[in-house]
């Protein structure tokens, strides 16, 4: 995503130091780290801002078929049976 907007904010020196340390640890520039963190926060809020914890999280992904659910249940039950033995 192209960076076309600039934002200037004042933050505590401790927060800036923490962000710089995190950026260095993750091999990012301070700007890239702040952008990454803000994008993650915005994405999390758009998911949790709905009425369910998972609502919207998997939007656009393939829904398993009934046969796939049945196979998964069968596999889980098999695993539980061997744990009891």
CA distance 33 to 37: 6
Hey, what are 41's tokens? 């926060």
Q: Contact 47/57 with Cβ under 8 angstroms?
A: yes
pLDDT of residue 40: 87
Q: 50-53: list long-range contacts, CB under 8 Å, 24+ apart.
A: none
Angle 9-13-16 from CA coordinates, rounded to 5°: 65
pLDDT of residue 85: 53
pLDDT of residue 80: 79
Q: What is the pLDDT along the chain (85 residues), one digit of tens a residue?
A: 677 889 899 999 999 999 999 999 999 999 999 999 998 888 876 655 555 666 667 777 888 889 999 999 999 988 777 665 5
pLDDT of residue 15: 94
């Amino acid at each position: 995503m192209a960076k076309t907007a600039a934002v200037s904010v004042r933050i505590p020196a401790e927060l800036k130091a923490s962000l710089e340390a995190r950026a260095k640890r993750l091999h990012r520039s301070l700007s890239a780290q702040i952008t990454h963190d803000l994008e993650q926060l915005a994405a999390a809020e758009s998911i949790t801002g709905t009425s369910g914890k998972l609502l919207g999280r998997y939007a656009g992904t393939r829904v398993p078929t009934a046969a796939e659910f049945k196979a998964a249940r069968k596999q889980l039950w098999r695993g539980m049976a061997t744990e009891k033995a």
